[in-house]
Amino acid sequence: MEKLGRSGVGVSRIGLGTAPLGGLYTAVGDQQAAATLEAAWSAGVRYFDTAPRYGSGLAERRLGSFLAGVDRSEATVSSKVGALLDPARRDYTVEGVYASLAASLERSGLDAFDILLIHDPDDHWEEAVRHAYPALARLREQGGVRAIGVGMTQAEMLVRFVRETDVDCVMVAGRYSLLDRTAADELLPLCAERGTGVLVAGVFNGGILADPGPGAYYDYAPAPEPVLKRARGLAERCAAHDVPLAAAALQFPLRHPAVTGIVVGARSPEEVAEDLALAATPIPEALWTELD
């Protein structure tokens, strides 16, 4: 387990994201969800990320049900506050944070989460920094959570949180990948300087870096042609070294010294096995030199 910034919380270098187990893109049955979690656990994954919004609470329920059958002390679990079950609703008030946490704990059956993240406060900076952050900081001080942070699909506001608050970690989705290295400009150096842990999600940028074929998605929408062209160019460079593009995409964020771990979603035991095989694929330094 790697230490997440100054918090002392440990996370496995590869964590399982549970959005697919909440039905992202396509529905997943109870048995398949349980088998996916079991496959990750058996393979040594000990960090699990969830959120109320993933399947309107379904991912939290399924994760909690699985963890009830294993040694909870071995697992690190993060959930989120601010973005509620209803996709149209957000609440970054102190009361909203506490209510969201209470509901998440009830759904999951857990006594506590190890990490709590403010979820996508893009248009809610003032409310998030003046209310949601202090609420989480108070919980941390009281021992109700071990680490707090922010999870977003942009780097700029994460920089503000790291500069202006005492968050333990950030989760940056899609902004540190083979296609988009925005986080490397300011966020990652700042986190390294401050001792703030960094978790990278969205390593495949919505799917295009797993398979840049026709109809590929980039950041939750069909990929525009220029992005598809770039991704196919990356795939050709990887193929010249007998490396799958997906392997390079998954391993790329872990090369940065500021990155503690990555979060990869999976919806089946087969996807878990595939992701872990990609993580173990040897990649020659010559390819990294080309991709850099």
CA torsion, ordered 133, 93, 58, 170, to nearest 10 deg: -20
Contact present, 184 and 196 (Cβ < 8 Å): no
Closest-CA residue to 94 (of 135, 129, 128):
135
- Helix (H/G/I), strand (E/B), else coil: 249: helix
Cβ partners under 8 Å of residue 119, min gap 6: 51, 53, 80, 81, 82, 83, 151
Sign of CA dihedral 19, 160, 77, 199: positive
Catalytic positions, written as ranges:
54
As a whole number of angstroms, the distance between CA 218 and CA 183 comes to 17
